[in-house]
Amino acid sequence: MRSGLAVIMLLLGLLAPTFAFAQQSQPGPQPSPARAPSVSEYRINAGDELEVYVWGEERLQRAVKVLPDGTIAFPLVGQVVARGLLPQELERAISERLEGQYRGQVPQVTVSVASPSGMQFSVMGRVKAPGTFTPGRYVNVLEALSMAGGPNEFANLDNVLLIRKVGDRLQTFRLRLGGVFRGGANLDDSGMLTSVGTIQPGDTVIVP
């Protein structure tokens, strides 16, 4: 009996490394790849409300509004031009202004658009609900007309005007949208997406 028990113990001792190796070689759950942080493509406009945080500095954490001249005022930094910048570009601009205030590395600066209220455009003329709209995102001409309730039955969709301020001058685009609404054409047929692209802040769409 004792000899049989000894044989069993010997076999278990020989097989133990094999079990251990099999257990170690089993693939465990693989960690999911980290998602890359999203980068905003929204450019800041006058009238937007921003949240600016300098991490670890409570005195430098506040909400600011972009002034009509396109600037913001921020402690230790002064006036900074924000209009036309991406949030990450404004982060770099603020960090560069803060370099003289720190002996070491400047704390991380984060800028987020809390309210894109500066993203406004107007739709006038023969539409069902003309007015000024704040979509909070970029839209194209068709989406702009949709927000205005769409054209009415007397609208001349082959002579739509889009007026845009470029610098100190006004630029006018004449758009033919009749074929788009009739289903016989698309926005690319007249090169409209190339010349106009998305609606920009301050644009005015006129439907005669």
Q: What is the mean pLDDT of residues 101-115?
A: 90
Q: Are residues 160 and 202 in the same domain?
A: yes
Q: Are residues 186 and 159 in the same domain?
A: yes
Under the banding of pLDDT at 50, 70 and 90, the label for residue 69 is: very high
Q: Are 82 and 155 in the same domain?
A: no
Residue 29's pLDDT is what? 43
- Strands 78-81, 160-166: pairing kind: unpaired
Domain boundary among 67, 83, 115: 115
- Tokens representing 51 are 């949240």
**Residue 150, domain CATH:** 3.10.560.10
The alpha carbon dihedral of 142, 190, 185, 207 has a sign of: positive
CB 88 within 8 Å of CB 36 = no
Q: 146-201, pLDDT tens digit by residue?
A: 999 999 999 999 999 999 988 789 999 998 888 777 765 555 554 454 456 789 99
Of the ranges 14-23, 72-81, 99-108, the best mean pLDDT one: 72-81
Among the candidates 62, 82, 115, a domain finishes at 115
pLDDT at 186: 56
- Of residues 41 and 173, the one with the higher pLDDT is 173
Query: Do 93 and 127 have their domain in common?
Result: no
Last residue of a domain, one of 115, 133, 163: 115
In a domain, 155, yes or no: yes
Q: 């005007």: which residue's tokens?
A: 161
Residues 126 and 192 reside in one and the same domain: yes
Asked if the structure places residue 31 within a domain, the reply is: no
User: For residue 9, is pLDDT > 60?
Assistant: no
pLDDT score at 15: 45
**What whole-number distance in Å separates Cα of residue 12 and Cα of residue 6?**
10
Counting residues of the chain whose pLDDT is more than 90, the rounded percentage is 52
Give one DSSP letter per residue of 135-189, joined into a string: -SS---HHHHHHHTT-B-TT--TTSEEEEEEETTEEEEEEE--HHHHHTS--TTT
Strands (DSSP E) along 34-168, which ranges? 49-54, 61-65, 71-74, 78-81, 109-115, 121-125, 131-133, 160-166
In the predicted model, what is the mean pLDDT of the chain?
Answer: 80
Same-domain status, 106 and 152: no
pLDDT of 89 reads 97
Q: Which domain holds residue 135?
A: 121-207
pLDDT at position 10: 46
Overall average pLDDT of the 1-20 stretch: 46
Asked whether the beta carbons of 118 and 76 are under 8 A apart, the reply is no
Task: Pick 25 or 61 by higher pLDDT.
Answer: 61
Identify whether residues 128 and 84 lie together within a single domain. no
* 132 vs 59, more confident: 132
Indicate which CATH number applies to the domain containing 81.
3.30.1950.10
Count the domains in the chain. Answer: 2
pLDDT of residue 204: 96
pLDDT classification of 96: cutoffs 50, 70, 90: very high
